Amino acid sequence: MGWRPLLDLFFPPQCASCNALGSGLCSSCAPSGETIEVRLPRLKVTALGSYEDGLRAAVLALKDGRRDVAEALGAAVAPLVAPRELLVPIPTTAKRRRVRGMDGVALVARSAAVIAGAVVLPALEQRSGDAQRGRSRSQRLAARGRFACNAANVAGKRVTLFDDVCTTGSTLRDCADALREAGGLVEHAVVIAVAKSRDPWRGPPHD
Ligand SMILES: [Zn+2]
């Protein structure tokens, strides 16, 4: 709490879409509450809406490090998260996190979890080439995906994935597989937005 009122005084929250003061996403630009559902193999994906207009502006602002937008998105995501649910954010690449100084996806997950009474578990890490070096052949084969689960405590637990944008769903599927290998029960993912197609000018930053 402490510094927040002071920060708000100098950097008041401002709508990422229309620049109105008061919230990272004002009530006219915030998602309507009607969600979109996408079915992937073994995974139901619930999105706040399509990757366009206000949600697109919000996701891009999140990547620019806008904490006010992360809080506004967290409030919009919270109704989709059950109390005591284990929410596993998809990790931002280490490089992007260094550039932006924050992991926007994790920040939205934390904001949503505080409101919903859920638990954020950063159980996934992205594999780098270095992480593969020095492993035995069988270890490399077991770890063929792009992501690894670094938490032993997902075994036997129902976990929900959380990411910003879902396009093809391949990232969500890889992450679900990594959690399942660790014994997690993964049937549901929540995302901020679903993108219909990959457009070179308006496309999302990753899938
Ligand atoms: Zn607005």
**161 domain residue, yes or no:** yes
Number of alpha helices (DSSP H) and beta strands (DSSP E) in the chain: 8, 8
Q: Are the CB atoms for 165 and 192 separated by under 8 Å?
A: yes
Q: 153: pLDDT confidence band, cut at 50, 70 and 90?
A: confident
pLDDT score of 166: 95
Structure confidence by residue, pLDDT tens digits, 161-180: 999 999 999 999 999 999 99
Per the confidence metrics, is the pTM higher than 0.85? no
Read off the CATH number of the domain in which 168 is found. 3.40.50
Taken in order 44, 88, 27, 50, is the CA torsion positive or negative? negative
List residues bridging with 186 in a β-sheet: 159
**Residue 61 domain-assigned (yes or no):** yes
Report CA(202)–ligand 1 centroid distance (Å): 19
Which tens digit of pLDDT belongs to each residue from 14-59? 999 999 999 999 999 998 889 999 999 999 999 999 999 999 999 9
Give me ligand 1 centre to Cα 189, in Å.
Answer: 26
Element (H, E) at 37: strand 36-40
**How many structural domains compose the chain?**
1
Query: How far is it, in rounded angstroms, from Cα 122 to Cα 51?
Result: 25
Ligand 1 centroid vs 16 CA: distance in angstroms?
Answer: 7
Residue 134 located in a structural domain: yes
Q: Which domain holds residue 38?
A: 31-194
